[in-house]
A and B are shown apart, each in its own frame.
Chain A
């Protein structure tokens, strides 16, 4: 019994030869695929989906003032998510960013109240403290080579404890005293916490700051030497050092940039509420990090954008307020958040694999 094989050869077309104009080894990828590989496109689609979902599910969202509230909520997260995202692209992250906001606000409030000075003295002092905390984080990470997780976890605990203890020591209370009648308060409030009237809708000033900062961050990241260095130190620290990138300067300055963001948001909180609750801020650092990750930044560094976290923060604000407007139990917020985070991480993974595929 002969076992001759009669199977016809499969389709015999030769392997497709690429265009020979260049070196012919790569073919142009479809536009849609190239667009999807951008770090901010995934989150943009996600944000749009969440927005449309709540437009349908929660009719009050369609109102202009509701949108203003959503944008305000997004901006307070978004302003901090920007430096946190840059730091993440630079290969580090900062767990102390949430309580650092409170540290800044407490410093400004207590210093100017206790010494009965112009609030601007407190504001400047808070800036110095915030930058110093950032510098300490960065310096410790660079000099010891310890993971930034450990170093900033330490800072987080130190600041959390110090916030409560020092406030109780100074004011014998967990909150600071009202500073709304002090010299310079109105001026500072105008800068950090005023609102604008746009077409009959009150829009908080932080929304503008948020968008302006995001535009500056994008420009710096993509169009300047410093931006190039951020990608480089996050992508491969040793290689960057070997070709002459100032790794120490880049990393420390990124941590200080987070300090700057914490100062700004801290001042906004202080001049919005007039007093500061010293126990707040815990857990916010994870929200900022999540907004950056949802925004397409790689937790391991070297990849991401500044626009992505804007959409990431918007998604947070949208879900947070949308649940309220839809009349649902707000407890669902965190569950939503977890789902969004996991989805974003999966998209990131896919992007990284397709971006580095041979």
Chain B
């Protein structure tokens, strides 16, 4: 398997970038997985593979089922159909802790931080370092602060004061702290839920850099976004969700940014609408693709949306 460094789109590369052997065995695999909430089918027939050292992008508009998908993988919800395999073994997580123990870490949209707590306490929350025997077992504050500072610096984040509440950091900084935390705690699969959604252009760039850095450390990354430009900058494989089903599943070599953008924007449906829109004065349809231009393989499990 070729890593995609040759494409020249990956800016940030950590020193250990060559330590990312991309093997063929997926760490996490979904086969025809789906989830129903009562009589509402939020997700249906989704196939997804996450390989170490590769970034799998999941794109989709609001309500497409992206959040449901990551909740299944991260252990907050259970799938109701299909299979969910980790290292080839079927699993069913009942708590996020179980997913964490398998090396699946999620950086949620709200970042899973406690705003009023200091940066270093947030960094180690749930996995605190302690010392001393039981009755007087206490937090090893010095070691935690030092480790947190080192790890953040490794990711290129320099903070004045680790004692400041994490709520005082900017959105991009918080995102980076959350990613650094997941990487430090031995994540093999990193799920990022719209990490660039609320960020400015420059901050988004910083976060994308860390995604590339995490990938180059050999992590499998699931990058959830609705921005095809961000996805195409770091992605190796692209899956587009639409109304709870897979509309597109393609490797980087099989899809161009334009096609990806079109799929995101409604793709095939828009193409069909092109002629109709052409009748309306003032709507510019020259830039829209014809249906025949959409050559990327369409996922076969789809409900036949086009």
Contact = CB atoms under 8 A, between A and B. Distances in A.
Are A and B a genuine interacting pair, yes or no?
A: yes
Interface of A: 22-26, 219, 223-225, 227-228, 231-232, 235-236, 238-245, 302-303, 352, 355-358
A245 B126 contact: yes
A235 B117 contact: yes
Nearest to A243: B126
Contacts of B127: 243-244
A356 B114 CA distance: 12
Given A242-B96, A242-B112, A244-B126, A232 B117 contact: yes
19 contacts: A22-B158, A23-B159, A23-B160, A225-B139, A227-B139, A228-B125, A231-B117, A232-B114, A232-B117, A238-B112, A239-B108, A239-B112, A242-B76, A242-B112, A243-B125, A244-B96, A245-B125, A352-B116, A358-B170
B110 to A, nearest CB: 7
Contact of B128 (A24, A225, A241, A358): A225
B130 A26 contact: no
B114 A240 contact: yes
Given A22-B160, A244-B126, A239 B110 contact: yes
B125 A355 contact: no
Given A23-B160, A355-B165, A244 B100 contact: yes
A242 to B, nearest CB: 4
Contact of B114 (A22, A24, A302, A358): A302
Nearest to A236: B114
A219 B100 CA distance: 29
Given A23-B160, A242-B112, 16 more contacts: A23-B158, A24-B160, A26-B160, A225-B139, A228-B121, A231-B117, A231-B121, A232-B125, A235-B115, A235-B116, A241-B96, A243-B100, A243-B112, A244-B97, A245-B126, A356-B165
Interface string B96-140: 110010000010101111111100010001111010000001110
Contacts of B74: 242
Chain A CB within 10 A, most for which of B112, B127, B170: B112
Lowest 6 A-B CB distances belong to which pairs? A244-B126, A235-B114, A243-B126, A239-B112, A242-B112, A22-B160
Given A224-B137, A235-B117, A303-B116, A26 B128 contact: no
Given A22-B159, A23-B158, A356 B96 contact: no
Contacts of A242: 74, 76, 96, 106, 108, 112
B88 interface: no
B194 to A, nearest CB: 15
A244 B74 CA distance: 12
A5 to B, nearest CB: 35
Interface residues of B, number: 34
Contacts of A23: 158-160
A92 to B, nearest CB: 16
B142 to A, nearest CB: 12
B168 A356 contact: yes
A305 B99 CA distance: 33
Contact of A228 (B128, B137, B167): B128
B67 interface: no
Contacts of A228: 121, 125, 128, 139
A232 B139 CA distance: 15
Interface in B158-173: 158-161, 164-165, 167-168, 170
Contacts of A227: 139
B254 to A, nearest CB: 34
A239 B160 contact: no
A103 B130 CA distance: 38
Interface in B240-269: none
B138 A223 contact: yes
Interface in B134-186: 137-139, 141, 158-161, 164-165, 167-168, 170
B139 to A, nearest CB: 6
A91 to B, nearest CB: 11
Contacts of A244: 96-97, 100, 126-127
Contacts of B159: 22-23
A86 to B, nearest CB: 16
B114 A26 contact: no
A331 to B, nearest CB: 39
B164 A26 contact: yes
Contact of A231 (B97, B116, B167, B170): B116
B115 A240 contact: no
B158 to A, nearest CB: 5
Nearest to A37: B165
Contacts of A224: 130, 137-139
Given A223-B139, A231-B117, A358-B168, A240 B126 contact: yes
A243 B165 CA distance: 18
Nearest to A352: B116
A238 B76 CA distance: 11
B168 A357 contact: yes
Nearest to A245: B126
A25 B74 CA distance: 35
A225 B115 contact: no
A193 to B, nearest CB: 27
Contacts of B160: 22-26
A239 B177 CA distance: 14
A228 B121 CA distance: 8
A22 B170 CA distance: 16
Interface string B23-65: 0000000000000000000000000000000000000000000
A352 B114 CA distance: 14
A227 to B, nearest CB: 8
A55 to B, nearest CB: 36
A319 B267 CA distance: 72
